[in-house]
Amino acid sequence: MPGTSGPSRHRQRRERAAAALGAQGCAALVVGPGSDLAYLTGYRIFATERLTALVLAADGTATLVLPGLEGPRAEAAAPDLTRREWAETDDPYALVAALVGGAGDIAIGDQLWSAFLLRLQDALAGRRFRPASDVTRALRMRKEPEELAALREVGASADRAFSRIRELEFSGRTEQELAADIAAALRAEGHDEVTFTIVASGPNGASPHHHTGDRRIARGDAVVLDFGGTRGWYCSDITRTVVVGEPDSELVRVHDLVRRAQEAGYGAARDGARACDVDAAARTVITEGGYGDRFIHRLGHGIGLDGHEHPYLVSSNEERLERGMAFSIEPGIYLPGRFGVRIEDIAAVGADGSAQPFNVADRGLTRVR
Ligand code: ZN
Ligand code: ZN
Ligand code: ZN
């Protein structure tokens, strides 16, 4: 809803979630600390051994069950929300069970620890549990204008960070040293938090989620840089592949292929397109270029409050893209023992039905020192 903020925005989201619960035959939604809770209430809290849970009944009644000591924090974040605070010796599971009421399934938070779910299953014996994402994914996939603005802003911040990073000295330094510089650049350009900084140099680039280590970067190395964090709670995620000095001819050829695959992904990611067809459009370019078996992951993932969320651009997903959906487009080619190349942007399906990039930093094979 344009122009709404704070409590009323969260109340509207809870109303939509409650309607979805009813439509899907669910009695209630129970979510713990994490992005579903933040999305529905604005309340953010780390998970601990003490149960915190929002219970949203299909009739729209919303209650936050929480340890009494967190009362002030919850009141400040979500003053409009009814709270049921439990004392250290109370049974919070009985509290949740009493609030669930009615017949029907219970939609349980995907990010709720199993330690809590197992106790809830005892307290609600005989009830059927389903993933909360059955209910929340349809809401969270369709971004509100404010959410798209937040993603655009955090994306621009990541782009500015890359402008700083490409000026850094790479040769002779370790991956960890570069990662520290990337984190500093993200913060300097407006990120509130840095979530990950992958620096995968030379042969390490062949592992898509390489754990940044103490390898010293050398001249001629391709270096995959994949980094992101949050600003205003929304996530960034960008990958660029750079080369230290002059690239060899295969690196140039592979990088060009990945770039063309990404462009094909952009071309296919239109309003109404199936997620699997977008993956296929990019994959076909790489397969025809002779590296099909070296593109070893899906093309992309949704992004928002979570760094990876629905919709997933993967060959098994026949879901159709819609205006307002945001996701990564990140083809890659990985050559074991040699190097890897990946190019990743965040994009969203815009008002004209085409995919608009939130990352516009130079996608070429950038030469670094
Ligand atoms: Zn990844
Ligand atoms: Zn990434
Ligand atoms: Zn990604």
Tell me which ligand sits closest to the C-alpha of residue 308. Answer: 3
For residue 69, give the nearest of 49, 53, 85, 46 by alpha carbon.
85
Q: Classify burial at 112, counting beta carbons within 10 Å of its beta carbon; exposed 0-12, middle 13-18, buried 19 or more.
A: buried
Residues lining ion ligand 2 (Cβ < 5 A) are 226, 237, 239, 344
The Å distance, Cα 285 to ligand 1 centre, comes to 20
Indicate the pTM of the whole model: 0.94
Q: Are strands 222-231 and 62-67 parallel, antiparallel or unpaired?
A: unpaired
Which tokens hold the place of 141? Answer: 């996939």
Q: Classify burial at 6, counting beta carbons within 10 Å of its beta carbon; exposed 0-12, middle 13-18, buried 19 or more.
A: exposed
Q: Which residue has the tokens 């660029």?
A: 240
The Å distance, Cα 262 to ligand 2 centre, comes to 14
The Å distance, Cα 188 to ligand 2 centre, comes to 20
Can you give the pLDDT at residue 101? 81
Report yes or no: 333 and 257 within 8 Å, Cβ to Cβ: yes
A 10 A CB-CB count for 303 gives: 27
The Å distance, Cα 89 to ligand 3 centre, comes to 43
Beta bridge partners of 228: 196
Query: What b/e string do you get for 325-351 counting C-beta neighbours within 10 Å, with b at 16 or more?
Result: bbbbbbbbbbbeeebbbbbbbbbbbee
What mean pLDDT comes out for the span 343-367? 98
Tell me which ligand sits closest to the C-alpha of residue 195. Answer: 2
The Å distance, Cα 229 to ligand 1 centre, comes to 13
Q: Which ranges in the chain belong to alpha helices (H)? A: 6-23, 35-41, 71-77, 92-100, 114-123, 133-141, 145-165, 175-188, 249-268, 275-288
What mean pLDDT comes out for the span 56-79? 96
Give the mean pLDDT of the chain. 96
The Å distance, Cα 300 to ligand 3 centre, comes to 6
pLDDT tens digits, 191-237: 999 999 999 999 999 999 999 999 999 999 999 999 999 999 999 99
Can you give the pLDDT at residue 1? 39
Can you give the pLDDT at residue 6? 64
Task: Tell me the residue type at 159.
Answer: D
The Å distance, Cα 342 to ligand 2 centre, comes to 9
Confidence band (pLDDT; 50, 70, 90) for 102? Answer: confident
**Phi-psi sector, 33: left (phi>0), alpha (psi -120 to 50), beta:** beta
The CA angle 343-346-349, to the nearest 5 degrees, is 125
Confidence band (pLDDT; 50, 70, 90) for 253? Answer: very high
Which tokens hold the place of 292? Answer: 């099909």
The Å distance, Cα 227 to ligand 2 centre, comes to 6
Confidence band (pLDDT; 50, 70, 90) for 3? Answer: very low
Confidence band (pLDDT; 50, 70, 90) for 4? Answer: low
